[in-house]
Structure 1
């Protein structure tokens, strides 16, 4: 077996083993790489605009991000905290309203037996609470790891890139470096389109809810924008708190809220995202939904959130390594034999 074939089999075999044995580690590393691509892309854009080195541009981009978070914390976070606090107080009231309406039906008491607050005091409820706390701290720890991977990857990507390329045979290292460049460009384009779409969803949702007089419109718009990172499924998660808050206001408000979310989602899915991703990243919607379902079942919320960029990266690798370098080469060889 040729060294180039052996090296590729070993590389993909190692990745497959990691995916089977430690999928969370692989997903966290990919999330860090995605963050590194974002930081590197922002720094390179600044460097091009100002005519400075990429390293300086990354530093300015990081300072800009830190400054943005500082301004956000000083000017906006207090009001958001108040709205989130009010949201946490109003949601139980909304649940009580739902409970009262369910109890009006004959099948209501039986259903509510499984949802009563006393169940949280049971051993199973305490175990679930401990698990939730552990998961929260685990998520914070994963966030720190992702942050450091992103920072190191953005500041000096050449070290990790060259190390990865050295794992394959020398005869195909140039092609491997080209594949990594194309994958990085694909992820950068996807991130640009996704962040713009998230901003549009957040602004339109918050504005629509505010015009409709729905309580906590800004907080709900922020939630909708953040959850828009998970296409197709994120909007379903975002609408739940809005509908619960609208329920005490009456059926008309519920219908208005439902119309706002459906309208914004339709606009984002059929107008905003196609326009933003035009000439950038084009992914088959059915394939994206299938991969999201698969990753959500296998790897949980992190897999669900990263399913789309993983699909974009995988399609780029498959197109360059398998289709162009293997299948098309066989087709060219057959045409060449026919010419002779």
Structure 2
């Protein structure tokens, strides 16, 4: 059987664009369409992306502990990570074992106390004509809750919260075990000409994130312990649970301090005017010490972010992404700030090189 002669149809295809200007416009449109599609994908996948980012933040905490232990014990990274995990588990189990019953009782008391104080406050405001009636209040509350949006509705269920925490812990553990694997994978996806700069930028971002988390942990422990002892000395009820809540809320600066202060004052005035004034004084003293002594000392070794920038990003992140966005606003801002600072350094280096080149040509 003889091979048939290959025949190729000549002439332009109906979908072939030969005009260079038209091809350029099609490429531009494809770029804009790709960017719009990427933004749409990010919006649709914002919940898993936040979980992944939270896992990276948790991995930075573990990595910081591993590096700290490495300065004392020259052993393998896996063993150091195991020590960090065991110490964390031992601390949590010991804390709940020693204070579990007391904390559980104080949680119930705190809820009933806050409900009673809220009713008293709203009744007083209503009697003064500063707040609508009970029926109007319930309508305003329903409207406020309905405006939260679908992005934060998944946080409300306990099962969803536990699942989210489990996924964050698992992602953080996997990344902390061998971060170089994921770093190499990210670099492989970057063009070769930009890999060195990308590696330097990600290294600085990781260093910044570790310092930020170190500062947050120090602030949380200090605020929680100081609040606990001060309220206990003043005879304020539920001092332990208020100290724990203050320490946890210290992870979210500015907003967390306001919420913890409101809780302290509400519980303090539930026992009398004297304890209420003591709670106010405790709040002022702790926040003053934290703002003027502790934070400046930690800030020298951590990230320097202006308070207005921090508060603004927290408001935007909470409005867009809910509770998870509020908790992760500071790490997001710190990493973006580091990347932008590195970009400005590159531009300054390019301007300096251009200036030296121009000066050399002028001398020649």
**Could you tell me the TM-score, scaled by structure 2's length?**
0.79
Q: Note if 1:269 corresponds to 2:268.
A: no
The answer to whether the Cα contact below 8 Å between 1:243 and 1:257 also exists between their aligned partners in 2 is yes
Alignment equivalent of 1:98, drawn from 113, 121, 135? 121
Aligned to 1:185: 207
The answer to whether the Cα contact below 8 Å between 2:155 and 2:161 also exists between their aligned partners in 1 is no
Q: List alignment gaps of at least 5 residues for structure 1.
A: 1-8, 125-130
Take 1:17 and 1:51, find their aligned partners in 2: how far apart are those partners?
A: 47
Take 2:46 and 2:210, find their aligned partners in 1: how far apart are those partners?
A: 23
Take 2:54 and 2:309, find their aligned partners in 1: how far apart are those partners?
A: 21
Pick closer, same or farther for the CA change 1:111–1:247 going to 2, 3 Å: farther
Q: Note if 1:25 corresponds to 2:48.
A: yes
Take 2:126 and 2:189, find their aligned partners in 1: how far apart are those partners?
A: 64
Q: List alignment gaps of at least 5 residues for structure 2.
A: 1-30, 147-152
Could you list the per-position Cα deviations for residues 138-174 of structure 1 after superposition, in whole angstroms to 9, with x for gaps in the alignment? Answer: 2222211111110111112122111111111112222
Aligned to 1:53: 76
Alignment equivalent of 1:70, drawn from 93, 99, 109? 93
Pick closer, same or farther for the CA change 1:213–1:142 going to 2, 3 Å: same
Give the deviation of 1:302 after TM superposition. Answer: 1.2
Take 1:260 and 1:202, find their aligned partners in 2: how far apart are those partners?
A: 12
Q: Note if 1:204 corresponds to 2:226.
A: yes
Take 2:178 and 2:289, find their aligned partners in 1: how far apart are those partners?
A: 39
Take 1:293 and 1:116, find their aligned partners in 2: how far apart are those partners?
A: 25
Q: In the comparison of the two structures, how many residue pairs are matched?
A: 320
Give the deviation of 1:289 after TM superposition. Answer: 1.7
The correspondence of residues 273-292 of structure 1 with structure 2, limited to 5 A, is 273-292=295-314
Take 1:75 and 1:104, find their aligned partners in 2: how far apart are those partners?
A: 45
Give the deviation of 1:176 after TM superposition. Answer: 1.7
The answer to whether the Cα contact below 8 Å between 1:296 and 1:304 also exists between their aligned partners in 2 is yes
Pick closer, same or farther for the CA change 1:195–1:15 going to 2, 3 Å: farther
Please state whether the residue corresponding to 2:236 is helix, strand or coil: coil
Decide which moves more: 78-87 or 250-259.
Answer: 250-259
The answer to whether the Cα contact below 8 Å between 1:91 and 1:244 also exists between their aligned partners in 2 is yes
The answer to whether the Cα contact below 8 Å between 1:34 and 1:150 also exists between their aligned partners in 2 is yes
Alignment equivalent of 2:216, drawn from 180, 194, 197? 194
Take 2:230 and 2:256, find their aligned partners in 1: how far apart are those partners?
A: 18
Aligned to 1:6: none
Take 2:133 and 2:297, find their aligned partners in 1: how far apart are those partners?
A: 45
The answer to whether the Cα contact below 8 Å between 1:214 and 1:246 also exists between their aligned partners in 2 is yes
Q: Note if 1:337 corresponds to 2:354.
A: no
Give the deviation of 1:195 after TM superposition. Answer: 0.5
Aligned to 2:173: 151
Aligned to 2:63: 40
The answer to whether the Cα contact below 8 Å between 1:44 and 1:58 also exists between their aligned partners in 2 is no
The answer to whether the Cα contact below 8 Å between 1:45 and 1:57 also exists between their aligned partners in 2 is no
Take 2:158 and 2:87, find their aligned partners in 1: how far apart are those partners?
A: 28
Take 1:71 and 1:266, find their aligned partners in 2: how far apart are those partners?
A: 31
Decide which moves more: 226-235 or 326-335.
Answer: 326-335
Structure whose CA Rg is larger: 2
Give the deviation of 1:102 after TM superposition. Answer: 4.3
Take 2:53 and 2:181, find their aligned partners in 1: how far apart are those partners?
A: 17
Pick closer, same or farther for the CA change 1:291–1:145 going to 2, 3 Å: same
**More helix, by proportion:** 1
The answer to whether the Cα contact below 8 Å between 2:250 and 2:257 also exists between their aligned partners in 1 is yes
The answer to whether the Cα contact below 8 Å between 1:190 and 1:280 also exists between their aligned partners in 2 is yes
Please state whether the residue corresponding to 2:309 is helix, strand or coil: helix
Pick closer, same or farther for the CA change 1:103–1:304 going to 2, 3 Å: closer
Take 1:261 and 1:169, find their aligned partners in 2: how far apart are those partners?
A: 52
The correspondence of residues 241-252 of structure 1 with structure 2, limited to 5 A, is 241-252=263-274
Q: Note if 1:324 corresponds to 2:345.
A: yes
Give the deviation of 1:20 after TM superposition. Answer: 3.5
